[in-house]
């Protein structure tokens, strides 16, 4: 199978330009009101999408900041980073409108999420920032896929979740490309430094599923065990297929959710060119396959 590390930055830049040409033609249909089961369900939805907003906000800022630095040595990669950040900004715009529609507003982050993003904001090395963002994109795409199956079936909610699922699924292999290009110019021991961060973040993100269940489960109906296992599976599978990073998931951590490394092989490779091009096409979202 041809994988995305065979593709140059020009491949990703071409796809992002194609996406941008259609991006602002896509609008949320917020014409039909939502009948909530109870106030708890509505509050959980507000918390769910507020967390999504904060993730997009962080991705936008970091992508544009790194692009400014990268422009000094690779203008093409810098433009790709900028267009990626612009997509995160477009999500933020959509979520701002959507939050008002569901009766909420943008709120400060909770203690768990706030700690993640405060630490993320303090990171200085580009490879650390990109790896962290890649892992955030992966759990975001995973959560949105699961929520499409289980959350309230309403046209506007499904449209918002579908947009997020589709675009974050494209952003995962895109960020793998960013990480590879950044590592080409990083210090020789950069990958060695990233390994502890990868394992720490994987464990922390799996644990964060518990905190998110207290806030969002009345809306998305995803059990903690299902979400934690999905996080471990997709964060592990990502790097099992990207073997050049040497970031194989911990056997012990996988075992806590009933998985083995062998369970992460033989599935569709989210890093294949075909998968990237499918996710890049805004008109192609196969919900039944999620």
Residues 179-224 have pLDDT tens digits of: 999 999 998 889 888 999 999 999 999 999 998 999 999 999 999 9
In a domain, 263, yes or no: no
Q: How many CB atoms lie within 10 A of CB 183?
A: 18
In a domain, 29, yes or no: no
Confidence of residue 286 (pLDDT cuts 50, 70, 90): very low
> Would you state the pLDDT for residue 158?
96
pTM, full prediction:
0.89
In a domain, 252, yes or no: no
In a domain, 121, yes or no: yes
Once rounded to an integer, what is the mean pLDDT over residues 266-273? 60
In a domain, 150, yes or no: yes
In a domain, 253, yes or no: no
In a domain, 117, yes or no: yes
Confidence of residue 281 (pLDDT cuts 50, 70, 90): low
Distance CA 173, CA 254 (A): 22
| Number of domains making up the chain | 1
Domain that holds residue 96: 4-21+37-191+272-289
In this predicted model, which residue has the larger pLDDT, 184 or 121? 184
CA angle, residues 165, 281, 34, in degrees to nearest 5: 40
In a domain, 230, yes or no: no
Average pLDDT of the chain, as a whole number: 88
Q: What is the pLDDT of residues 220-258, one digit of tens each?
A: 999 999 999 999 999 999 898 888 898 989 999 999 999
CATH label of the domain that carries residue 164: 1.20.1260.10
């Amino acid at each position: 199978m041809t994988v995305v590390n065979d593709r140059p930055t020009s491949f990703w830049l071409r796809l992002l330009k194609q996406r941008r040409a259609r991006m602002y033609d896509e609008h949320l249909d917020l014409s039909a009101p939502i009948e909530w089961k109870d106030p708890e369900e509505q509050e959980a939805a507000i918390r769910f999408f507020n967390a999504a907003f904060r993730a997009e906000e962080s991705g936008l800022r970091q992508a544009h900041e790194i692009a400014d630095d990268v422009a000094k040595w690779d203008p093409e990669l810098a433009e790709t980073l900028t267009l990626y950040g612009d997509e995160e900004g477009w999500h933020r715009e959509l979520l701002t409108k959507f939050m008002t529609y569901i009766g909420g507003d943008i709120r400060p982050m909770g203690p768990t999420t706030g700690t993640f993003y405060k630490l993320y904001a303090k990171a200085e090395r580009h490879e650390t920032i990109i790896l962290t963002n890649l892992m955030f994109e992966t759990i975001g795409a995973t959560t949105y896929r699961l929520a499409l199956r289980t959350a309230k079936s309403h046209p506007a909610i499904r449209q918002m979740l579908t947009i997020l699922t589709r675009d974050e699924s494209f952003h995962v292999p895109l960020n793998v490309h960013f990480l590879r290009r950044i590592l080409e110019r990083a210090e020789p021991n950069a990958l060695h430094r990233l390994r502890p961060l990868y394992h720490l973040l994987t464990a922390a993100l799996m644990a964060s599923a518990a905190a998110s269940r207290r806030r969002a489960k009345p809306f998305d109906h995803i059990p903690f065990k299902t979400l934690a296992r999905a996080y471990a599976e997709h964060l592990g599978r990502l790097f099992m297929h990207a073997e050049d990073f040497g970031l194989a998931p911990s056997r012990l951590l996988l075992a806590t959710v009933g998985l083995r490394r062998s369970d992460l092989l033989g599935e569709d490779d989210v890093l294949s060119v075909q998968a990237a091009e499918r996710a890049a096409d805004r008109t192609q979202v196969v919900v039944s396959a999620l």
